[in-house]
C-alpha cells in the first residue's frame, strides 16, 4: 500500500462550494467519542489506533477495505446492557446486526442471550456453543427445516409470526415429542420515527400479528394477536411464554417503546380476563439508535432499562397484573459503535462548485446502508493527521452504480491524496452482515483488536471462494 507524498491540495475556495451551509468540524483530526469506539485514538504521529494497534500496521497486515472491531468496546457494551437490565430481565443480542463465532463466545462469556432469524444464524450460534435455551428464533417465513432444527436443538423460544406458523411449529413439536416455548409477535400500531424500511410496528407491513381489531381501536386487543393467543393456548405442544413487540430500528426516544409496552400490557390483561392466564414474559425488541455522526444523541442502556422497566411496571399495576419478565433485543446498539471500516483512497475527483468525489477500494458491497436507507456516516483521515483546510467530500465506492455512496456529505482535509487511509466509524451493525459480492467484490474481513493484538475473526473472501460457488 502506497503512502505517497501529498501534493498541495486544492485551495479553500475550490473545496467549499459557494452557498454550502454545513459547517466543517473545528478540527478535522478530532475523534468524537460518540461515534468512535472507546480504545480508538491518534498516536503521537497522528495515526488512528484501535486497541493499541495503528491503522498503518492494520492495513499492512490485513489489507483494505476491512472492518476493525474493538473487542474491549464490544465486551464493555455487552456488560453495560447486562448490568443495566439486571438479573430480573433478559438481554438478547440481535445476531442479524453482525454474527460470528467469536461474537457468540463473547456473548456467552458476558451472560447474554441471542436472537437469530435464520438457519444460518442458528447454526453459527450452536457451532460456537451458545446454549440452545438462551436462543430465540425469529422470522416471518421460517422454513420447515428451520423450525425443525430449532425445536430439535431445544431453543428457548420461537417467536411466532403468523397463524400458519402456529400450526406448523405445534405440529413439529408434537412430532418430535417436545413442548416448545413460544412468544407471539404483536404489531402494536406504533409509527416509529425512523426510515420506512426499518420501521416494523405500523399495521401495513409483513411482520407480526396485529393487536388492533381495527386501526381505530388500537387498544382493543380484539385483533389477530388475541386470536393467536387463543390458538396457542389450545395446543398442548406449545407453551405460551409471552408476547413480543419490535417497533423498528435506529430509534432515539423511548416514547414509541412506551406506547408499545402499554399496548402489549393491555393484551396481557385481556388474556388474563379471557383465559385466566398471566403470561410471564414481555419482549420489547431492539431498535435503539446509535450515533453515526456527531448530531446523533443515543440513550444509555441504563436509561433505557429504567424507562422500559417503569412503564411496564406502571401499566401492570394499573391492570392488576404481576410484572412479567422483560427482555430486549439490541443489535446495533451493541455492535454498531464497536467497528470502523478502513479504506484506501483511490481516485479523487473535484467537481467545480459542487464537491470532491473521493473513491475508495470498497463501497456499497461492504456498506449498503447509505444507498438503502439514506444513512448518514462520518469519516476521518486515519493514516495521518492534517492541518489542511476542510474539503467537502462525497466518499464513493468502486461499483458500477452512481448510488454507490459510502458517506454522502463530509469534510476531509484538502491535502487528501491517493494512498491515504480513511476510516468510517460505526459500521459494526448491518454492514458486514448485509455485505454483497456485487461486481464480484470480495467481502472484507472482520478483524478483532484488543490489547495491542489483532486477529481475523471473519476472513476476507478470495477469488477461490467466488469460483467455488460457480460450478457451471
Ligand X SMILES: Cc1ncc(COP(=O)(O)O)c(C=O)c1O
Ligand Y SMILES: N[C@@H](CCCC[NH3+])C(=O)O
Q: Is 230 annotated as a binding residue?
A: no
389 annotated to bind ligand: no
281 labeled binding residue:
no
Per annotation, catalytic residue among 108, 117, 316, 400: 400
Residue 430 touching ligand Y (CB under 6 A): yes
Pick one of ligand Y, ligand X, none as the site partner of residue 333 (Cβ within 5 to 8 A by kind). ligand X
Which of ligand X, ligand Y, none interacts with 364 (beta carbon under 5 to 8 A by kind)?
A: none
Please tell me whether 343 is known to bind a ligand.
no
Among positions 210-249, residues that touch ligand Y (CB under 6 A) are: 249
The yes or no reply on residue 331 touching ligand X (CB under 6 A) is yes
Active site residue 108: no
Q: Closer CB to ligand Y, residue 198 or residue 264? A: 198
Instruction: Tell me which of 134, 157, 263, 332 binds ligand X, using CB under 6 A.
Output: 332
Q: Is 67 annotated as a binding residue?
A: no
Q: Which does 121 bind (CB under 5 to 8 A by kind): ligand Y, ligand X, none?
A: none
Q: Is 279 in the site for ligand Y (CB under 6 A)?
A: no
Residue with Cβ nearer ligand X (118 or 439):
118
Q: Which of 15, 97, 422, 424 binds ligand X (CB under 6 A)?
A: 97
Q: Does 231 show up as a binding residue in the annotation?
A: no
The answer to the question of whether 430 is labelled as a binding residue is yes
CB of 433 closer than 8 Å to CB of 404: no
Q: Judged by CB, which is closer to ligand X: 16, or 333?
A: 333
428 is in an annotated binding site: no
Residue 115 interacts, among ligand X, ligand Y, none and using kind-specific CB cut-offs from 5 to 8 Å, with ligand X
| Interface segment toward ligand X; rule CB under 6 A; list 52-60, 326-334, 394-402, 455-463 | 326-334
- Cβ nearer to ligand Y, comparing 289 with 350: 289
Q: Does 96 bind ligand Y (CB under 6 A)?
A: yes
Q: Does 94 bind ligand X (CB under 6 A)?
A: yes
Long-range CB contacts (< 8 A, 24+ apart) of 102-111? 102/128, 102/448, 102/457, 103/74, 103/128, 103/335, 103/457, 104/128, 104/129, 104/130, 105/129, 106/71, 106/74, 106/75, 106/78, 107/78, 109/75, 110/75, 110/78, 110/79, 110/82, 111/82
Q: How near is the Cβ of 454 to ligand Y at its closest, in Å? A: 25
Binding partner at 261 among ligand Y, ligand X, none, C-beta below 5 to 8 Å by kind: none
Q: Is 369 in the site for ligand Y (CB under 6 A)?
A: yes
| 333 lies in the binding site for ligand X (CB under 6 A) | yes
Quick check: 330 binds ligand X (CB under 6 A)?
Answer: yes
Interaction with ligand Y in 188-207: which residues (CB under 6 A)?
Answer: 198
Q: Which is nearer to ligand Y, 29 or 205 (CB)?
A: 205
Cβ atoms of 398 and 348 within 8 Å: the answer is no
Restricted to residues 119-138, the positions that interact with ligand X (CB under 6 A) are: 138
The 221-260 site mask, x for binding ligand X (CB under 6 A), equals -------------------------x--x-----------
Farthest CA pair distance, the chain = 77
CA 280 to chain centre: 27
468 is in an annotated binding site: no
User: Does residue 250 belong to the site contacting ligand Y (CB under 6 A)?
Assistant: yes
Compute CA distances 391 → 23, 26, 355, 404, whole Å.
11, 13, 8, 20
The residue among 293, 284, 272 whose CA lies nearest residue 159 is 284
Query: Per the annotation, where are the binding residues for pyridoxal 5'-phosphate?
Result: 287, 329-332, 430
Binding positions for ligand Y, rule: CB under 6 A: 96, 198, 249-250, 369, 373, 430
Residues that bind ligand X (CB under 6 A): 94, 97, 115, 138, 200, 246, 249, 285-288, 329-333, 429
Binding-site residue numbers are 287, 329-332, 369, 373, 401, 430
Annotated binding site for substrate: which residue ranges?
332, 369, 373, 401, 430
Q: Write out the catalytic residue numbers.
A: 400
Amino acid at each position: 500500500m502506497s503512502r505517497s507524498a501529498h501534493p498541495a491540495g486544492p485551495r479553500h475556495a475550490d473545496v467549499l462550494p459557494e452557498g454550502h451551509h454545513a459547517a466543517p468540524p473545528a478540527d478535522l483530526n478530532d475523534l468524537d467519542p460518540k461515534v468512535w469506539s472507546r480504545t480508538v485514538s491518534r498516536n503521537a504521529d497522528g495515526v488512528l489506533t484501535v486497541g493499541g494497534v495503528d491503522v498503518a500496521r492494520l492495513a499492512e497486515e490485513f489489507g483494505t477495505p476491512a472492518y476493525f472491531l474493538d473487542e474491549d468496546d464490544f465486551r464493555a457494551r455487552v456488560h453495560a446492557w447486562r448490568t443495566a437490565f439486571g438479573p430480573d430481565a433478559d438481554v438478547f443480542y440481535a445476531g442479524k446486526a453482525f454474527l460470528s463465532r467469536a461474537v457468540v463466545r463473547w456473548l456467552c462469556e458476558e451472560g447474554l442471550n441471542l436472537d437469530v432469524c435464520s438457519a444460518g444464524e442458528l447454526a453459527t450460534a450452536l457451532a460456537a456453543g451458545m446454549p440452545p435455551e438462551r436462543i430465540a428464533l425469529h422470522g416471518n417465513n421460517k422454513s420447515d427445516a428451520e423450525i425443525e432444527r430449532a425445536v430439535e436443538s431445544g431453543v428457548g423460544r420461537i417467536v411466532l409470526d403468523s397463524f400458519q406458523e402456529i400450526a406448523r411449529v405445534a405440529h413439529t413439536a408434537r412430532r418430535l415429542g417436545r413442548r416448545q416455548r413460544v412468544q407471539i409477535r404483536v404489531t402494536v400500531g406504533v409509527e416509529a420515527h425512523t426510515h420506512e424500511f426499518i420501521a416494523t410496528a405500523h399495521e401495513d407491513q409483513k411482520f407480526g400479528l396485529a393487536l388492533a381489531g381495527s386501526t381505530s381501536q388500537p387498544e382493543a386487543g380484539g385483533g389477530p394477536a388475541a386470536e393467536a393467543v387463543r390458538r396457542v393456548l389450545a395446543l398442548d405442544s406449545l407453551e405460551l411464554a409471552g408476547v413480543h413487540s419490535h417497533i423498528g430500528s435506529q430509534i432515539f426516544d423511548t416514547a414509541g417503546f412506551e406506547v408499545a409496552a402499554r399496548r402489549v400490557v393491555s393484551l396481557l390483561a385481556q388474556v388474563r380476563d379471557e383465559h385466566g392466564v398471566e403470561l410471564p414474559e414481555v419482549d420489547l425488541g431492539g431498535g435503539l439508535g446509535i450515533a453515526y455522526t456527531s448530531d446523533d444523541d443515543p440513550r444509555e442502556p441504563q436509561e433505557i432499562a429504567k424507562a422500559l422497566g417503569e412503564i411496564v411496571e406502571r401499566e401492570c399495576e394499573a391492570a392488576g397484573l404481576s410484572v412479567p419478565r422483560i427482555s430486549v433485543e439490541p443489535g446495533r446498539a451493541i455492535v454498531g459503535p464497536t467497528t470502523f471500516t478502513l479504506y484506501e483512497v483511490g481516485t479523487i475527483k473535484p467537481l467545480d462548485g459542487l464537491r470532491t468525489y473521493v473513491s475508495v477500494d470498497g463501497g456499497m458491497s461492504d456498506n449498503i446502508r447509505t444507498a438503502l436507507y439514506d444513512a448518514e456516516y462520518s469519516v476521518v483521515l486515519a493514516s495521518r493527521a492534517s492541518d489542511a483546510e476542510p474539503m467537502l467530500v462525497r466518499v464513493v465506492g468502486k461499483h458500477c452504480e452512481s448510488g454507490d455512496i459510502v458517506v454522502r456529505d463530509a469534510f476531509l482535509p484538502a491535502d487528501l491524496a491517493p494512498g491515504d487511509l480513511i476510516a468510517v466509524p460505526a459500521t459494526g451493525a448491518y454492514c458486514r452482515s448485509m455485505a454483497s459480492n456485487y461486481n464480484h467484490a470480495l467481502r472484507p474481513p472482520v478483524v478483532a483488536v484488543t490489547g495491542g493484538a489483532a486477529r481475523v475473526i471473519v476472513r476476507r473472501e478470495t477469488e477461490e471462494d467466488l469460483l467455488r460457488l460457480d460450478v457451471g
